[in-house]
């Protein structure tokens, strides 16, 4: 079986612009609507809202490779990294923290040069114990001379999906990759660069393990460069996870084809559009939360009131079943009924809460959400 890395023209990828123009235009339009809304509103992504996107990205990019993190443990790790309260959260996950560090480094410092040292530090962060499962691996180093294959199926009847370039070529291949990223890709459309970088890196497969996660981190870094934003408003890994079977199939076909990667780029652009569309609800919550606190920046609120408001904001409109009641306020804040009643009354006067129409003693309240249209 021959692979594209063995072709004479490797790694000079080609694509058919006329076949990409419609997909690229749709991707730019979808991206533009998102970025325009964010920038026109002048809203900053709050740390708590930002944490939800980072939690999703961490869990899904690991899950694509069959690594399952506990969501609450990841939530604890993210809270620690972002300086959010950790009281009452589960113990953090050491392996998840390494991945979180890598994602944050790539997206927050997207303007920094990509170097061999930086890539190796990312891979080392993914495996703090030096083991992948029960297997000891080379950490912070390129893979050795052992043939690197992507296989499936039972032992003795394995199906080989892909074989990476020989280990003795990795040093040379990665120098070329860095040169492409830092120099040659400057003339390529930013969204196409993200797709090419992903494909290029996983094809070289320079590490013993963690290649897929680092490829997706590089994709996020390229998208951050294209959008000129360090904060993420959608999870591309979440969408890839939803299309995991198709993702591996298109990679396999493209790695066994020619250096014309038009088909891969078409799939990538479609995935990018879907990732933004999938995130509409999460984005709306982020924007509403930011808009709310911008509107009430000068409103005096105590800690319990702030906590309750954030819970209502995160639930979204109609997402807090049954509305807020005095009983629920007491349960969530661990305060007295009298204090809860006083706090709720204050929020009504400040036009933050509105009373629901109800009969008898079943009194409940809704948050007055700001408009983000």
Same domain, 330 and 354: yes
- How buried is residue 259: exposed, middle or buried, by Cβ count under 10 Å (0-12/13-18/19+)? middle
Is residue 194 domain-resident? Answer: yes
Q: Are residues 305 and 217 both part of a single domain?
A: no
Residue 61 sits in the same domain as residue 153: yes
Computed over every residue of the chain, the mean pLDDT equals 89
Whole-angstrom CA distances from 130 to 64, 120, 156 are 21, 13, 28
Write down the pLDDT at residue 282.
Answer: 67
Q: Kindly state whether residues 125 and 266 are assigned to the same domain.
A: yes
**Is residue 253 in some structural domain?**
yes
- Flag whether 372 is in a domain: no
Residue pair 208/240 in contact by the 8 Å Cβ criterion? no
**Separation CA 272–CA 237 (nearest Å):** 10
Does residue 289 sit within a domain? Answer: no
Intra-chain end-to-end CA distance of the chain, in Å: 54
What pLDDT is stored for residue 87 in this prediction? 67
pTM for the full model?
0.80
Shared domain for 305 and 264, answered yes or no, is no
Higher pLDDT, 52 or 329: 329
Q: Could you tell me if residue 373 is inside a domain? A: no
Predicted pLDDT of residue 370: 83
Residue 164 lies in a domain: yes
Whether 165 and 136 map to the same domain: the answer is: yes
Same domain, yes or no: 266 and 327: no
Q: Which helix (H) or strand (E) holds 149?
A: strand 149-152
Outline where the chain has alpha helix (H).
Answer: 17-41, 47-63, 71-82, 94-108, 116-126, 170-182, 190-204, 211-227, 236-242, 244-255, 262-278, 280-295, 303-315, 326-333, 337-349
The last residue of one of the domains, among 227, 248, 281, is 281
Q: Which residue has the higher pLDDT, 315 or 342?
A: 342
Spatial distance between the Cα atoms of 301 and 292, rounded to a whole number of angstroms: 13
pLDDT for residue 343: 96
Please report, for the domain that includes residue 334, its CATH number. 1.10.10.10
Q: Which of 302, 303, 307, 309 is nearest to 352 (CA)?
A: 309
Of the residues 250, 281, 312, the one at which a domain ends:
281
Per-residue pLDDT tens over the stretch 64-106? 888 889 888 888 888 888 887 776 677 888 888 999 999 999 9
User: What does the pLDDT read at residue 348?
Assistant: 95
> Is the predicted pLDDT of residue 192 greater than 90, yes or no?
yes
Question: What does the alpha-carbon distance between residue 334 and residue 325 come to, in Å, rounded to a whole number?
Answer: 14
Same domain, 340 and 226: no
CA distances from residue 360 to 62, 322, 357, 365 in whole angstroms, order as listed: 50, 15, 10, 14
pLDDT band at 41 (very low <50, low <70, confident <90, very high): low
User: How many structural domains is the chain composed of?
Assistant: 2
Query: Are 243 and 129 members of one domain?
Result: yes
Question: How wide is the angle at C-alpha 344 spanned by C-alphas 90 and 301, nearest 5°?
Answer: 70
- The pLDDT tens digits of the residues spanning 264-285 come to 999 999 999 999 988 777 667 7
In a domain, 137, yes or no: yes
Question: Residue 286 domain-assigned?
Answer: no
More confident: 82 or 214: 214
Q: Would you state the pLDDT for residue 189?
A: 97
Q: What DSSP state is assigned to residue 371?
A: P
Return the residue matching tokens 């088909």.
Answer: 263
Do residue 267 and residue 301 come from a single domain?
no
Whole domain around residue 211: which residue ranges? 4-281
Residues 136, 107: one domain? Answer: yes
By the 8 A CB rule, do 271 and 193 touch?
A: no
Tokens of 183: 């120099």
The β-bridge relationship of strands 353-355 and 365-367 is: antiparallel
| pLDDT, position 42 | 56
Q: Say whether pLDDT at 2 is over 90.
A: no
List Cβ neighbours of 97 (8 Å cut-off, separation of 6 or more). 77, 80, 81
Residue among 180, 189, 254 at smallest CA distance from 27: 189
- φ and ψ at 285, to 5 degrees? -65, -40
Say if residue 118's pLDDT is above 60: yes
Q: Of 67, 68, 71, 62, which Cα lies nearest the Cα of 90? A: 71
The CATH number covering residue 150 comes to 1.10.3290.10
Strand partners, 160: 151
Specify whether 231 is located in the same domain as 113.
yes
pLDDT range class, residue 26, cuts 50, 70, 90: very high
Last residue of a domain, one of 222, 256, 281: 281
């Amino acid at each position: 079986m021959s692979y594209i890395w063995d072709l004479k023209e490797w790694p000079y990828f080609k694509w058919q612009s006329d076949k990409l123009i419609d997909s690229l235009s749709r991707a730019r339009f979808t991206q533009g609507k998102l970025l325009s809304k964010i920038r026109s509103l002048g809203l900053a992504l709050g740390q708590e809202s930002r944490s939800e996107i980072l939690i999703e990205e961490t869990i899904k990019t690991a899950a694509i490779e069959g690594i399952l993190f506990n969501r609450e443990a990841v939530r604890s790790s993210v809270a620690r990294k972002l300086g959010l309260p950790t009281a009452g959260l589960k113990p953090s996950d050491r392996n998840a923290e390494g991945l979180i560090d890598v994602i944050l480094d790539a997206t927050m410092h997207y303007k920094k040069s990509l170097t061999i040292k930086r890539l190796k530090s990312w891979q080392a962060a993914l495996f703090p114990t030096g083991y992948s499962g029960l297997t000891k691996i080379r950490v912070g180093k390129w893979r050795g001379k052992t043939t690197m294959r992507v296989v499936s199926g039972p032992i003795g009847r394995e199906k080989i999906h892909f074989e990476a370039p020989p280990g003795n070529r990795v040093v040379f291949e990665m120098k070329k990759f860095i040169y492409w990223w830092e120099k040659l890709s400057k003339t390529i459309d930013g969204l196409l660069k993200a797709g090419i970088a992903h494909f290029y890196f996983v094809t070289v497969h320079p590490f013993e393990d963690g290649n897929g996660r680092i490829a997706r981190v590089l994709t996020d870094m390229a998208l951050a460069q294209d959008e000129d934003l360090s904060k993420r408003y959608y999870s591309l890994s979440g969408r890839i996870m939803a299309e995991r079977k198709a993702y591996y199939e298109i990679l396999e076909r493209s790695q066994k084809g020619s250096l014309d990667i038009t088909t891969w780029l078409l799939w990538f652009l479609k995935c990018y559009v879907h990732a933004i569309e999938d995130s509409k609800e999460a984005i709306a919550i982020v924007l509403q939360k930011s808009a709310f606190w911008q509107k009430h920046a000068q409103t005096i609120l105590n800690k319990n009131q702030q906590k309750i408001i954030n819970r209502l904001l995160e639930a979204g409109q109609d997402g807090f079943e049954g509305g807020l009641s005095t009983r629920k306020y007491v349960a969530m804040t661990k305060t007295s009924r009298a204090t809860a009643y006083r706090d709720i009354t204050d929020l009504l006067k400040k036009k933050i809460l509105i009373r629901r129409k109800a009969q008898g003693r079943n009194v409940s309240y809704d948050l007055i959400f700001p408009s983000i249209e």
